[in-house]
Structure 1
Amino acid sequence: MSADPTVLVIGGGATGTGIARDLALRGVDVTLVERGGLGSGTSGRSHGLLHSGARYAESDASGAAECLAESRTLREIAGACVRETGGLFVRLEGDDAAYFETKLAACEETGIETERLDGDAARDLVDGLSDAVVEAFRVPDGVVYPSRLVAANAADAAAHGADVHPHAPVEAIETGADGITAVDVGGSVDEHIEPTHVVNATGAWADRIAEMAGCTVGMAPSRGVMVSLEYDGLGPVLNRCRDPDDGDIVLPHEGEVVVGTTSVPVSTPETYETAEWEIERSIEECAAMLPAVAEAPERRTWWGVRPLYEPDEAAADRRGISRGFTILDHGDEGVSNLHSVVGGKLTTYREMAEVTADRVCERLGVAEPCRTAEEPLVGADDPSRLDALVEQYGGPNPTDAGVVGTDGG
C-alpha cells in the first residue's frame, strides 16, 4: 500500500466503502482501513430494509425523498445486492386510523407509489396475514444484502486503484499545527501512514476516532435486536402502521424472515448489555401482523447499534433522533484535514458517500464529478462472484448470513 495516500478512509461499512469507491472513480489515491471484516459494524447488523421512504414520510419528508431516490438508484446499480419485494403498511384493529391516513397522504405527497387495500385484499396478497389487519397500503420497499453491497463497493474501489484493508484497526492518530500528520494502523497493515486527508466513516464509533485526533462528534448510539426465524413464503416487507415502536417490521429473506426491532440507548457501541425481553417483544409484536412467526424456530439473533448523531441531546428519546446524515468539518477544532460522516441509513449510503467525496474533493482541488449513481457495481449481476468477494473481505454478516453463499438472492 501507499505510505502516503491522498485520502485515508477509516471505516469499512457501506458508507466507508462507498466513499472509497467514489473517490477512486474520481482518480483520487485512496486507502480504506477497517478494524474487522468489511460491514461488520452497523451495516451488516441491520434488518436489511431497502427503504422506499415510507417509514419517514410523515416525520421527515426530505429524508423520505432521499430514500426513495436512492432506492431507485440501487435497483439500477446494485443488481443482486438488493431484492425487489415490495412492502405493505398494515393497520391492525385498535391502531390509530388517523395515523394511517396521515402516513398514506405523506407518502403520496412525497411521490412514493402507493396502493390502498382493505383487510381482505391485503390477506389475498400475503398468505398468513393476521385477521386483525383492517386495512393496508402497498409501497416499493425492498431488501438489501449488506455483505454483498459492501464487498461490491470495496471491489469496485480496488478496481479503480484504491487499497482496501479489512482487519486493520487504527491504533493512534498524530496531529500537528495543520491537522492530522500520521495514522498508525495495526493488524493486516501494521504501518505508520501519512495521508493528506482523513475521512472518519466509522458510524457509531465516530466519537472514538475523532477523539484520537483531539476532536468531538456527539454520537447517541442505540441498540436494536433482530431475530431470524424459519418461515418460507412471505412476499412483501411488512410494516406496522403506527407510531414507531418495538417489533414493527418483518422482512422476507430466503426461507426465513427477520423480525425486529427495539431501541435502547447505549453508552458505547463496543460493549453493551442485551436483554431477552427484546427478543420476546419483537417476536410477539411482529406476530400480531404474521401470527405464524410466534412459533417459528429461531435461526440466529443479533443486535445492531444505530449510528445516531445528536450532540446536544444525547439522553433524548432516540427513536425521535433524525435518521438523516451529517458531515462534520473539524477545521474549526484545528484539524482541517479531517471530515466525519455520521447518521444516515443503509439505503442512503451512496448519497452520503457522494456528498462526503464532494467535500473532500473541494478541499483537495479535485474537479472530477461523481459517477457512482450511473456505473453498476463490480459483479452486481453475478451472485456467485459477489459471494466470493464477501469471503475475500471478511465473510457474511448476520443480516444476510442465511443468503450469502447459499445460492440465494
Structure 2
Amino acid sequence: MNNRTDVLVIGGGATGTGIARDLTLRGVDVTLAERGGLSSGTSGRSHGLLHSGARYAEADGPEARSCLEENRILRDIAGECVRETRGLFVQLADDDPAYFEAKRAACEDVGIPTEVVDGESAREAVPGLAADVERAMWVPDAVVAPSRLVAANAADAREHGARVRTHAPVTSMTVENGQVTAVTLGGDADETIRPSYVVNATGPYAGQIADMAGVSVAMRPTRGVIVSIAYDGLEPVLNRCREPDDGDIVVPHDGEAVLGTTSVQVDDPDDYEQADWEIERTIEECAAMLPSVADSERVRTWWGVRPLYEPDEAARGGRGISRGFHLLEHADEGVENCCSIVGGKLTTYRRMAEATADLVCNRLGVDADCETAERRLPGASDPSRLDEFVRQFDGQGPTDADLVRRE
C-alpha cells in the first residue's frame, strides 16, 4: 500500500508526538511512525522530573529559563500528566557551600523562585531526610507521567487527522534527486509512505535513521539506571546540591520513590551492559540524602538511554552540562526534505516540537502559528481518559507504571 503524506514523523516519544500534534493543529497532514509502542524509548524510561530549570541554572541560563517556561506551560496544558510536588535541593555536610550559593544566585538571575531553609526546617518538611543536611532550597520542580503525556499528544494529533502507526519500524528509505521519496514501514504497518517532508525524532536512534537517508547525525548516547523502591510519604523531588553525579535525584511517586541515575556511554542503544554497580551506587548515593531508601524494597529497575548529540557533548566537555536541543537540516548533505531533532529533555519537548514544526511549515509554505502552548491536551482533567490513551497506543513505559491504571 502506498500512502502520501505531507510530513512523516519518525519516533513516537514526547518530541515526535509533540511535533505531530503541533503540525496537525496547523492543518498539516501527518503520519507518525514508531517502531514499538509509544514511549518505548527515552521518554518512557526517564525518572519523570519536570525541571524548574534549577538543575541547569548556573551552567546554562537560557536553557534553564526555557525549562522554567515549559514547566509553567505544562502545568497549564497537561493537567493530570503532571504532579505538583515542588523540589528541594539539599546541601550535605560534605558538599561545597559555594556551589549552593552559585546555584541560588543563578536561579535568581534566571527568575526561578527559591526559598532557602536550614537543615532543621528541611527535615520537618521531609521526614527521614539525612541528619547532615545543612540547608536546602525550595524550587518549583514537579513530576511528569511521560506515558500519559506522550499518549495525550498522540491522541490530539490523531483527533486532528494524524495517522499514528505503532509497532511500525522504518525498514528502508528511498532518496531520489535530493528528496526522500519513499519510506517503508515494517511490523504492523507493512506499508510504504510517500512524504513531502521527513522528521527524524528518534532520540538515540537518530544516527541510524539518518544513515538510511544517506545523511549523518553524530550521536553519543549514554545509559542511566533508574531504581524504583517502595516508599510512602515523600512529597518533593530531592536533588543533591552538588556538581551532577551518580545518584543525585529522588523523585516521589504514589507509594514509591524513583532513584537516579548513572551516565555511561554506550555504542548501541539497543545492546548495552546493565551493570549491578550502577544500581548499588545509585541507591548508596541517594541514601546519603534519604537514608531509609537503602533498606527499602526494590520494586523495579530499568535503564534509559539519553539522546546526546556528539558535537555538543564534545564542546561542552562532559556530564551535567545543560541538555539543549539541536535541529539539523540535511539539505547541505544533499537531502532537502529531511531534518533531525536531537538532544533536549522531556521538560522541553513542546518547545522542541514547536521549533521543528516552524521549520517544516516554512519549508512546506504553510503559514500558521503554533497553538500548543495555549491548548490543553485532551483528557488533561481526566486521568482515566489519559490512561485509556496509553492503552490504545501501547504506550506504557516503566517510569510511571505505578501511576497509570491498567484497566
Normalised to the residue count of structure 2, the TM-score between the two structures is 0.98
Query: What is the DSSP-based 3-state SS (H/G/I as helix, E as strand, rest coil) of the residue aligned with 1:288?
Result: helix
In the superposition, relative to structure 1, how do residues 115 and 314 fare at CA in structure 2: closer, same or farther (>3 Å)? closer
Distance 2:162 2:224 in 1: 33
Distance 2:318 2:224 in 1: 11
Residue 311 of structure 1, CA deviation: 3.0
Q: Any idea what the Cα deviations from partners look like across 1:253-309, whole Å, max 9, x if unmatched? A: 010000010000111211111100100000000001011100000000000000011
Distance 1:399 1:317 in 2: 28
In the superposition, relative to structure 1, how do residues 186 and 406 fare at CA in structure 2: closer, same or farther (>3 Å)? closer
1:194 aligns with 2:201: no
Distance 1:73 1:328 in 2: 25
Query: What is the DSSP-based 3-state SS (H/G/I as helix, E as strand, rest coil) of the residue aligned with 2:41?
Result: coil
Query: What is the DSSP-based 3-state SS (H/G/I as helix, E as strand, rest coil) of the residue aligned with 2:399?
Result: helix
1:140 aligns with 2:161: no
Query: What is the DSSP-based 3-state SS (H/G/I as helix, E as strand, rest coil) of the residue aligned with 2:232?
Result: coil
Matched with 2:332 is 332
Matched with 2:214 is 214
Query: How much identity, in percent, do the aligned residues show?
Result: 67
Query: What is the DSSP-based 3-state SS (H/G/I as helix, E as strand, rest coil) of the residue aligned with 1:397?
Result: coil
| Matching residue's letter, 2:290 | L
Which deviates more, 1-10 or 148-157? 1-10
Give the paired residue count: 407
Query: What is the DSSP-based 3-state SS (H/G/I as helix, E as strand, rest coil) of the residue aligned with 2:150?
Result: helix
Matched with 1:379 is 379
In the superposition, relative to structure 1, how do residues 317 and 109 fare at CA in structure 2: closer, same or farther (>3 Å)? closer
C-alpha contact (below 8 Å) 2:40/2:395 kept by paired residues:
no
1:246 aligns with 2:243: no
In the superposition, relative to structure 1, how do residues 237 and 362 fare at CA in structure 2: closer, same or farther (>3 Å)? same
Matched with 2:96 is 96
Name the Cα RMSD after superposition.
1.4
C-alpha contact (below 8 Å) 2:7/2:199 kept by paired residues:
yes
In the superposition, relative to structure 1, how do residues 389 and 2 fare at CA in structure 2: closer, same or farther (>3 Å)? farther
Residue 396 of structure 1, CA deviation: 1.4
C-alpha contact (below 8 Å) 1:220/1:315 kept by paired residues:
no
Distance 2:8 2:185 in 1: 11
C-alpha contact (below 8 Å) 1:13/1:40 kept by paired residues:
yes
Matched with 2:284 is 284
C-alpha contact (below 8 Å) 1:126/1:234 kept by paired residues:
yes
Q: Any idea what the Cα deviations from partners look like across 1:353-380, whole Å, max 9, x if unmatched? A: 0000000000000001000000000111
Alignment of structure 1 residues 4-403 onto 2, 5 Å: 4-311=4-311, 318-320=318-320, 322-403=322-403
Residue 192 of structure 1, CA deviation: 1.4
Residue 2 of structure 1, CA deviation: 7.5
C-alpha contact (below 8 Å) 1:222/1:318 kept by paired residues:
no
Q: Any idea what the Cα deviations from partners look like across 1:159-187, whole Å, max 9, x if unmatched? A: 00100011000000010113201000111
Query: What is the DSSP-based 3-state SS (H/G/I as helix, E as strand, rest coil) of the residue aligned with 1:402?
Result: coil
Query: What is the DSSP-based 3-state SS (H/G/I as helix, E as strand, rest coil) of the residue aligned with 1:294?
Result: helix
C-alpha contact (below 8 Å) 1:231/1:255 kept by paired residues:
yes
C-alpha contact (below 8 Å) 1:263/1:318 kept by paired residues:
no
C-alpha contact (below 8 Å) 1:308/1:322 kept by paired residues:
no
Q: Any idea what the Cα deviations from partners look like across 1:45-96, whole Å, max 9, x if unmatched? A: 0000000000000001111000000000000000001110000000000100
- Name structure 1 gaps, 5 residues minimum: none
C-alpha contact (below 8 Å) 2:59/2:321 kept by paired residues:
no
Distance 1:96 1:318 in 2: 20
Query: What is the DSSP-based 3-state SS (H/G/I as helix, E as strand, rest coil) of the residue aligned with 2:5?
Result: coil
C-alpha contact (below 8 Å) 1:10/1:201 kept by paired residues:
yes
Residue 314 of structure 1, CA deviation: 5.8
Residue 189 of structure 1, CA deviation: 1.2
In the superposition, relative to structure 1, how do residues 275 and 317 fare at CA in structure 2: closer, same or farther (>3 Å)? farther
| Matching residue's letter, 2:64 | A
| Matching residue's letter, 1:384 | S
Query: What is the DSSP-based 3-state SS (H/G/I as helix, E as strand, rest coil) of the residue aligned with 2:180?
Result: strand
C-alpha contact (below 8 Å) 1:80/1:380 kept by paired residues:
yes
Query: What is the DSSP-based 3-state SS (H/G/I as helix, E as strand, rest coil) of the residue aligned with 1:36?
Result: coil
Residue 336 of structure 1, CA deviation: 0.4
Normalised to the residue count of structure 1, the TM-score between the two structures is 0.97
C-alpha contact (below 8 Å) 1:198/1:339 kept by paired residues:
yes
Distance 1:189 1:14 in 2: 21
Q: Any idea what the Cα deviations from partners look like across 1:309-330, whole Å, max 9, x if unmatched? A: 1237669864155400000000
Query: What is the DSSP-based 3-state SS (H/G/I as helix, E as strand, rest coil) of the residue aligned with 1:5?
Result: strand
In the superposition, relative to structure 1, how do residues 268 and 84 fare at CA in structure 2: closer, same or farther (>3 Å)? same
Q: Any idea what the Cα deviations from partners look like across 1:108-132, whole Å, max 9, x if unmatched? A: 1100000010000101110111101
Query: What is the DSSP-based 3-state SS (H/G/I as helix, E as strand, rest coil) of the residue aligned with 2:387?
Result: helix
Distance 1:352 1:314 in 2: 21
In the superposition, relative to structure 1, how do residues 220 and 109 fare at CA in structure 2: closer, same or farther (>3 Å)? same
| Matching residue's letter, 2:193 | I
Residue 251 of structure 1, CA deviation: 0.3
C-alpha contact (below 8 Å) 2:56/2:321 kept by paired residues:
no
C-alpha contact (below 8 Å) 2:221/2:269 kept by paired residues:
yes
Query: What is the DSSP-based 3-state SS (H/G/I as helix, E as strand, rest coil) of the residue aligned with 1:196?
Result: strand
C-alpha contact (below 8 Å) 2:128/2:292 kept by paired residues:
yes
Distance 1:190 1:139 in 2: 48
| Matching residue's letter, 1:180 | V
Distance 1:356 1:347 in 2: 16
